[in-house]
Amino acid sequence: MTQLFRQRRDRILAYQAMRQGRALSLQQLCCEGCGQESPAMQWNEGLMVCPKCGHHMPLGAYSRLHQLLDAGSFRELDGDLVGRDPLEFPGYPEKLAALREKTGLKESVVTAYGTLRGYGAVFAVLDSSFLMGSMGWAVGEKVTRAVEYAGRHRLPLIIFSASGGARMQEGIYSLMQMAKTTAAITRFQQNGGLYISCLTHPTTGGVTASFASLGDVMLAEPGALIGFAGPRVIEQTIGEKLPEGFQRSEALLENGFLDKIVNRSQWPEVLAQLLALHKGGKSC
Ligand SMILES: [Zn+2]
């Protein structure tokens, strides 16, 4: 019976990942890095990394989890928790409903328990295809609950961020999520929990200014834009041209904000090594 449940969970995650395969419906997909086209099949096989230049295009949350988790170990947490419309913002509920239909996501974060090469961990993965991965009440709540779940079960926490920042349609409720997630992570770390923060393109605004920057280990994908305000806003504010590569992962690694840049295909290996070190080599 346990085996049956594992197989069913695996099928659900595989189906969601396939549904998210952005390139599936296209014959060719154009790279935002080099501008060259490649067959959809190659994009899917390479987890949305350009086969020609290695540029990392956004990867859906379920596809990301499908890459990382051991078969049959995926257990989604708070899968039915959805956003509200506290300010009665015009058109917001309709927008959420249309995005749920289009993306197969209920919100812009998916949280889950799973094992990675035998090591149990709690995962939160933001998805930029849902309102730019912006953080409203539901995202803050799901991240906070994932952190608390990890704390209760003494599991490491791994968050993949990809976000445009706070969600403007929820105003102040959105900004409150910064304090809430930060407090939860601080408590988790004070109790000895390991938090690995993985930043992907783009990670900006209120997400950078809260949980994304608080990792015990800070990792990022190549070429990811990571910052608070975007480069255009900074240039307009200070009236100066920014240096080449400003706010990209490579510059942030050089300046000490990141510990390592990880190519997409290397995530399972790198994360498994860190989890193994944390557990003293013992898997669960
Ligand atoms: Zn390319």
For residue 261, how far is its CA from the centre of ligand 1 (angstroms)? 18
Amino acid identity, position 144: T
49 in a structural domain: no
The alpha carbon of 49 and the centre of ligand 1 are apart by a number of angstroms equal to 8
Number of domains composing the chain:
1
Neighbours of ion ligand 1 (CB under 5 A): 31, 33-34, 50, 52-53, 55
Q: What is the mean pLDDT of residues 146-169?
A: 97
* 110, containing H or E segment: strand 109-116
Structural domain of residue 140, as residue ranges?
58-278
pLDDT confidence of residue 245: 86
Share of the chain above pLDDT 70, in %: 95
Which token pair is 75?
């257990």
Q: Rounded to the nearest whole angstrom, what is the distance from the C-alpha of residue 25 to the centroid of ligand 1? A: 19
* 78 located within any domain: yes
d(CA 133, CA 125): 10
Could you tell me the distance, in angstroms and rounded to a whole number, from the CA of residue 213 to the centre of ligand 1? 28
Beta bridge partners of 248: 225
Which of 21-25, 38-42, 227-231, 263-267 shows the lowest per-residue confidence on average (mean pLDDT)? 21-25
From ligand 1's centre to the CA of 258, what distance in Å?
A: 24
In a domain, 21, yes or no: no
Task: Give the CATH number of the domain where residue 185 resides.
Answer: 3.90.226.10
Using DSSP's 3-state secondary structure scheme, residue 199 falls into: strand
Report how far ligand 1's centroid is from the alpha carbon of 90 (Å).
Answer: 38
9 in a domain, yes or no?
no
CA 192 to centroid of ligand 1, rounded, Å: 41
Is 3 among the domain residues? Answer: no
- CA 37 to centroid of ligand 1, rounded, Å: 8
Q: Is the pLDDT of residue 124 over 80?
A: yes
In a domain, 42, yes or no: no
How confident is the model over 63-70, as a mean pLDDT? 96
Inter-residue contact 148 to 183 (CB < 8 Å): no
- Determine the pLDDT at residue 10: 80
Cβ atoms within 10 A of the Cβ of 232, count? 9
CA of 75 to the centre of ligand 1 (A): 34
Q: What is the mean pLDDT of the chain?
A: 93
**Residue 18, pLDDT score:** 75
The tens digit of pLDDT for each residue in 74-122 reads: 999 999 999 889 999 999 999 999 999 999 999 999 999 999 999 999 9
CB 202 within 8 A of CB 58: no
Q: Which of 2, 10, 131, 22 is nearest to 76 (CA)?
A: 10
Which alpha helices (DSSP H) does 22-153 contain, by range?
A: 40-45, 61-68, 92-103, 137-152
CA distance 165 to 176: 12
In a domain, 205, yes or no: yes
Q: How far is the CA of 52 from the centre of ligand 1 (A)?
A: 5
- Distance (Å) from CA 30 to ligand 1 centroid: 8
Whole-model pTM over 0.85? yes
Q: Does 96 fall in a domain?
A: yes
